Structure 1
Amino acid sequence: MSLRRLALAAFTLSAGVSVRAGTVQKAGLTVPSNYTSQLDTLKSIFNVTYSAYQQYACPHDELQPDSKVGIDDIMGWGATIVDALDTMWIMGFTDLFEQGVNQVSETNFNVTTDDGNLASVFDATIRYIGGLLSAYELSDQKYPVLLEKAKNIADNMAYAWVDGNAIPYNGIFLSNYSIQDGFTNVAQAGTLLLEWGTLTKYTKNDTYQKLAEEATLKLASLPAPIPGIPGQLLYPNGSNIDDLVTWGSGTDSYLEYLPKWARLSNTNDTTYADTWLMAVDSSIEALLKRSTVDNWLYLADYANKTIQHVSSHLACFHGGNWILGGKLLNNDTIVNYGLELVDACFNTYRSTTTGIGPESFAYISSDGNYTGSSDPITSNQTDFYNENGFYITNAAYYQRPEVLESNFYAWRATGDTKYLDNAVWAIEAFQKYLPASSLGGVGWACITDVMSTDSPQWNDQAAYFFAEVMKYLYLTFDDPNNISLDEYVFNTECHPFKAPPAKSQYGSGKVINMTN
C-alpha cells in the first residue's frame, strides 16, 4: 500500500467520530471485598524486597548522611530510592518515605558513578525528575528538597540541547556538560513532556516545558514510514537513520506521552492528540494483525518496508495506552482494540509453565510469520504456537511491568473482574518463581526461562520493579478513587502527576490531508 493510500485510509476511524472527552474510569467502580487482601500481600512483598535492597544492594557508607550516590546508579540505591518514593507514600510506608527523602537530600546529582561521568537524559527524566516530582505532589509539597533536586537534575540535562536542535542528545558528561555525540531514538527524545512540564508548573520557569514540547513537536513533524510514527533512530538535527516503526522499545513512550500530555496539560495545541490518533489509525490499517490460532490481536513492527510479526513485553503497554487514549477521545473502537491487545498480552502469561510472560514473542498471521530474522521457526515453536497463538523468542522475565500496566487500565476502565484475576495470577506466579532462593539471597530475582519451573535466576532486581510492578499491582486492588485515572496521569515509570479537570474535547476532530 502506498504512503498516500495508507495515509488516507488511516483516518477512516477519526473522520466523523465524536471527540468529546470521555471519563476513563468506570463510574462507581469498587474492588470486591474478596480481592482486597491482595493489598496486604503486596505490602508484604514490598517490605521483603525493599529490605533486601537496603541490606545488600548498596554499600553501607551510602546510607550515611554524607553519601554521594551517582545519578546513573539506575540499578542501585540512587535510582531505587527515588523510583520507590511515591510507591511508599501510596502504600502508607511513611517511615520509609521520610527516610528516603532524607537520603535524597544528601545525594549529589551532579556526578555519576560512571567513570566517564555520563548521564542519560531519558533515565534521569523518567526515574529521577519524574519520581521526585510525583513524591513532591503526593506529599502535598511538604518536602521542598524534592523539587529542588528535580530542578537540579533538569538544569544539568538541559545541556543536551545544542546547536539549535529541537531534539536533545541523550548522553551528558556532567564533568563539563558536553554531549555524547551520536544518534538518539524516538523514545529518548519524546519522553520528556510530563516531567519537564510538571517542573515548569512548580518552578514557574517555562523553559523546561518549552524544551520538551519542541522536541516532541519536531518528532511529530518528521516524515513517517507509517503516518504518525517516525522511524526509530535519528540524529538530533531531525534526520532519520532508519524506517523501523514499532510500538515497542525505542519508540514506545513517545507514543505513550502524546495523549497523556494532552490530558495532563489541557493544552490548546491539538498536535499531540491528533498525532496519536494518526498513529493509532494507521496502525489499525497497517500493523494490526490476528493470529491464525485463537485469533489473538497483535501490533506488528514495520521495517525495510516489510511487516514483522513480532511483539514483546515492553510493547504490551499499548493496550492500556489505547484504552486511555480511546476513552479521552470517546472512541469505543480504539478502546475495544485496546482491550483485545490486553487479552493477547496476558495470554503470554497464562500460556507459560511458570505463568509469567516472556521478554519477546512472535506469531503467525494471515500474511505470514516473518520476524525480520533469517532463523526459521523451530518445530518446538510451531507446536507451542499451535496451542497458544504465539511462540516465544526470548524466554526471560526481567521484572517488566507493561502487561500488568495495561491490565490495570483495563480493570479501571471496564470493572471486569477478570482483570483482577489476572493480577492475582501474576502475584502468585511471582511469589513462586522470583524469590532469589537459588542465589542464596533474600530479594527477588529475574528468571532466564519462563518455560522452566527450575529456571536459572539472574542476580538483579530493577528499580522499576518498585516503581512500576509494585505500584500497578497495588493500585489494581486499591480503592479506584485513590489515584483515579480521571485525576492523575502516569509517566512511563508509573509516577503519577495530578491533572486538572478534563477538557470537553481533545484533538481537532478534523481529517488531516496527507499528501506525501
Structure 2
Amino acid sequence: MTSKRRRRDVLVALAMAATLWYVWTVSQAGSPSEWIRLQQWMNGPAAKAIVGKPSSFDWANVRLQHRPVSEEAKMPEPGPEPMPTIQHVFPPETASEAAVRTERLGEVRRLFQANWRSYRRFAWGRDALLPVSGAGRDQFGGWSATLVDSLDTLWIMGLREEFHEAAEMAARIDFGKATTARINVFETNIRYLGGLLAAYDLSRQPALLAKAVELGDLLYGAFNTVNGMPVDFLDLASAKKGVGLDVEARVVAAAPGTLSLELTRLSQLTGDAKYHDAAAAVMAVFSEGQNRTLLPGAWPMYVSMRKGDVVSDTSFTLGGSVDSLYEYLPKMYQLLRGGGAVDYRAMFTAFSEAASRYFLFRPMLPAGEDVLLPGNVNVEGGKAVLDPETEHLACFLGGLLLWGGVWKTARDARPEWKPHLPLGFTHAKDPRYLLRPEAIESVFYMWRVTGRQEFREAAWDMFLAVSNGTRTDFANAAVLDVTRGGYPLEKEDYMESFWLAETLKYFYLVFSLPEVVSLDEFVFNTEAHPLRVPV
C-alpha cells in the first residue's frame, strides 16, 4: 500500500507540475511582448499629449529664388523585390540568461539616468553639458541639441516622465532664432531633424512631427542654389529672405551625402516629396560619379558640390569626412524598400568591393588574431598607396558590411608593432576617447544580425571600460589620453550629445530583447535615431 501511495503521489506531483508548466507557457505566449509592453507604457492612455508652440518665423512661407514650388514631385514606389530579413531569429532566452541580461540592462539605464539628471540640473535647454565643471554650452544653434538627441533614448528606456518633459520642451523650440548666425546643415540634420523624426516615429506625438516639419522647411532652404546642391553652412538671415545661396567650393563628402535618410523620412510622413527630391538630386550626382573616381566605387574625402565634382580629389578614407555617406547607401535602400531613381543597392555593392580592394588590411598581430582594419588611401601618380592608419569613426564599417550582407577577403598584412601599445599598433595619433559610439555600434549590429553571444559579452566589457574610464562627479567626459595606464584618466570638460543619443543607446539595445526597435522595422540614422520603415 505504501509503495502504491508513493507512486500515486509522484504521479499527482508530476501532473500538477505539467499543468502549472502548461498554464505558465500559455500565459507567457498570450502576454504582450517586451516591445508591445514598452509601447503601451510610453504611448498608452496615461501618456500626456505634447503641446507644441510654433517658431517665431514660418520657414514654409519663404519664397526661394532657386526652388520653385512644384506640384509634380511624387514619392517613389517600393521596388518589386521583397526586402530580406536582417535580424537573426533568436531562440527564447533561459532564466539565467534573462537574469544576467536584465541586470546589465539596468546598469546601462542607471548610467544614462545619472547623466540625464546632471544635464537637467546644470544645462537644461543648452546644447551640451560640461561634465567636469557642471555647466552648459551651446555649439549647435542653441536649440537644445542634447535634449533633442536624447528623446528617443528616453523613450526606448521607458523613462516616461522624463520623455514627456523633454518632448514638451522640444516641441516649443524656436527655429526662428539661433545663438549663431549660421548653422551647420549636416549636424542640424542628423541631430535635430533625425531626433525629432525618431521621437515621432516612436511616440506618435503630432507636435513632434510639426516641429520636424518646421526644421525640414528651414533645411530645405539650404538647397536654394543655382544647381540645387546644398550649402554646408546656412546663413539664417539670407535663408529668411529666400535669396539664392552660393555653394562652398570644397566640402567633406559626408556633408552633402548624409541628408537623404532624414529628408526622405520627412517626405514619407508628410506626403510632401520636395524634401526627398532635393536629397535625391544630390545622391544622383554621387551615383553618376562613383565609378569615375580615382578609386572606382569609393568617393574622395573632399568634393565640390558647386561644380558637381565628386571625382577629382586624390585622398580617400572610410573614416571621418565620408563615413556616413557610405552608411546611408544600404539604409536608403531599406527605407525606400528598393524603390527610387537612385540605385542605392548598386552603389553599396560598388562601395563594398572598393572597400575590400583598396582599404582593408590585416595588421600583423603576434597572436595571429583574424582582424581587419580600414586604412586611408592616397592616389599618387595613378597608383593607390595604402596608409595603414585607422580611427574610431571607421569602426562603423564592420557592422555596416555585415548589415549590408557583404563580406570580403583581406588585403595584405602589415608588419610593425610596438610592445608598449596593443599588439599590432605602432602609434596612437589621437589618443583621446570622445565618448564616440562607432565601436559599440558595430558590436550592436553584429549581435542583432548573427545572434552570437560573444558580441554581447564584448559589449559588456566595453561598457565597463567606458563607464569606469570616463566617469566624473556629474556625468561622463571625454578622455584626453587612453594610452596612459592607471586611473583616474585625465578628462576633458566635454560631453557630446551623441554620448546619450548613440553610445548609451547602442549599449542598451544590445541588452534589450531583440524585438525592441527591430532592424527589420527601423533603420538608424548616423546619430542612432531609429526611423520607421514603411510597411
The TM-score, its normalising length taken from structure 2, stands at: 0.74
Note the C-alpha offset of 1:462. Answer: 1.0
- Aligned with 1:214 (options 260, 281, 291): 281
Q: Do the aligned residues in 2 keep the contact of 1:258 with 1:275 (CA within 8 Å)?
A: yes
User: Is the counterpart of residue 92 in structure 1 residue 158 in structure 2?
Assistant: yes
2:275 aligned with 1:275, yes or no?
no
In structure 1, the residue matched to 2:171 is 105
Q: 1:432 to 1:473 in 2, by over 3 A?
A: same
Match of 1:251 in 2: 322
Instruction: Give the match's secondary structure for 2:315.
Output: coil
> Could you say what secondary structure the match of 1:172 adopts?
strand
CA distance in 2, matches of 1:462, 1:419: 25
What are the superposed Cα offsets for residues 389-439 of structure 1, whole Å, 9 maximum, x if unpaired? 564221110000000000000011111111111111122112322111xxx
What is the rounded CA distance, in whole Å, between the counterparts of 2:214 and 2:320 in structure 1? Answer: 28
SS at match of 1:497: strand
Structure 2 residue corresponding to 1:196, chosen from 241, 263, 266 = 263
After alignment, is 147-156 or 92-101 more displaced? 147-156
Contact kept in structure 1, 2:314 and 2:378, CA below 8 Å: yes
Cα pair 2:142 2:179 within 8 Å, conserved:
no
The AA in structure 1 aligned to 2:347 is T
1:458 matched to 2:484: no
CA distance, structure 2, for counterparts of residue 427 and residue 288 of structure 1: 27
In the alignment, which of 112, 130, 133 is matched to residue 46 of structure 1?
112
Whether the 8 Å CA contact 1:396–1:448 is kept in 2: the answer is yes
In 2, are the aligned partners of 1:186 and 1:254 still within 8 Å (CA)? yes
Q: 1:366 to 1:474 in 2, by over 3 A?
A: closer
Q: 2:194 maps to what in 1?
A: 130
Amino acid at match of 1:191: T
Task: Find the partner of 1:225 among 273, 290, 294.
Answer: 294
> Deviations for 1:67-90, whole angstroms, at most 9, x for unmatched residues?
xxx997439771011000000000
Compared CA separation, residues 59 and 207, structure 1 to 2 (3 A): closer
The alpha-carbon deviation at position 487 of structure 1 amounts to: 1.3
Distance across 1 between alignment mates of 2:430 and 2:141: 22
1:482 and 1:304 map into 2 onto residues whose CA distance is: 44
Which consecutive residues of structure 2, in runs of 5 or more, have no partner in the other structure?
Answer: 1-80, 129-135, 240-244
Does residue 288 in structure 1 map to residue 288 in structure 2?
no
Q: Classify 1:137/1:21 alpha carbon distance in 2 versus 1 (closer, same or farther; 3 Å).
A: closer
Q: Return the TM-score normalized by structure 1.
A: 0.77
SS of the residue corresponding to residue 467 of structure 1 reads: helix
Any idea what SS the aligned residue of 2:266 has? helix
Q: Which secondary structure does the structure 1 equivalent of 2:404 belong to?
A: helix
Aligned to 1:316: 395
Equivalenced residues, count: 424
Q: CA deviation at 1:216?
A: 1.2
Determine if the alignment matches structure 1 residue 239 to structure 2 residue 309. yes
Change in 2 beyond 3 A, CA 1:480/1:75: farther
Is the contact between residue 29 and residue 480 of structure 1 (CA under 8 Å) also seen in structure 2?
no
Show the counterpart of 1:186.
253
Which structure has the bigger radius of gyration? 2
The offset of 1:387, in angstroms, is 2.7
Rounded Cα–Cα distance in structure 2 between residues aligned with 1:97 and 1:81: 10
Classify the secondary structure of the residue corresponding to 1:382.
Answer: coil
Give the Å deviation of 1:445.
Answer: 0.8
Matched, 1:496 2:530: yes
Partner Cα distance (1:129, 1:320) in 2: 24
Cα shift readout 1:264-297 (whole Å, capped 9, x = no counterpart): 1113346211011111112212222111223521
Identify the residue that residue 446 of structure 1 maps to in structure 2.
Answer: 478
Contact 2:363–2:424 (8 Å) recurs in 1 = no
> Residue 426 of structure 1 aligns to which amino acid in structure 2?
M
In 1: Cα distance, 2:87 partner to 2:426 partner: 31
Equivalence for 1:148: 210
CA RMSD of aligned residues (A): 2.6
Residue 30 of structure 1 and its aligned partner are, at CA, apart by 5.1
SS in 2 for 1:289: strand
What is the aligned counterpart of 1:118 among 168, 182, 186? 182
Q: Which amino acid aligns with 2:262?
A: E
| Deviation (angstroms), 1:476 | 0.3
Between the aligned residues of both structures, percent identity stands at 29
**Which residue of 301, 310, 322 maps to 2:376?**
301
Deviations 1:216-249 (A, max 9, x none): 1211212322222122212223125622221111
* Preserved contact between residue 245 and residue 301 of structure 1 (Cα < 8 Å): yes
CA distance in 2, matches of 1:428, 1:193: 35
CA contact (8 A) 1:169 1:184 kept: no
The alpha-carbon deviation at position 159 of structure 1 amounts to 2.0
For residue 301 of structure 1, what is the amino acid of its counterpart?
A: N
Deviation at 1:162, TM superposition (A): 3.7
C-alpha separation between the residues in 2 aligned to 1:419 and 1:55?
35
User: What is the alpha-carbon distance in structure 2 between the residues aligned to residue 458 and residue 393 of structure 1?
Assistant: 17
Shift in alpha-carbon separation, 1:45–1:367, aligned structure 2, 3 A: closer
After TM superposition, the structure 1 stretch with the greater mean CA deviation from structure 2, 157-166 or 308-317, is 157-166
Q: Is the 8 A contact 1:72 1:120 kept in 2?
A: no
- Secondary structure of the corresponding residue to residue 27 of structure 1: coil
Alignment of 1:39-78 (within 5 A): 39-58=105-124, 73-74=139-140, 78=144
Quick check: 2:418–2:425 contact (8 Å CA) kept in 1?
A: no
**Are the equivalent residues in 1 in contact too, given 2:364–2:414 (CA < 8 A)?**
no
Partner of 1:405: 441
How much does 1:497 deviate? 1.1
Alpha-carbon distance in structure 1 between the residues aligned to 2:141 and 2:477 = 13
Q: How many Å apart are 1:179 and its aligned residue?
A: 5.5
- Residue deviations 1:37-58 (CA, integer Å, cap 9, x gap): 1111111111101111111224
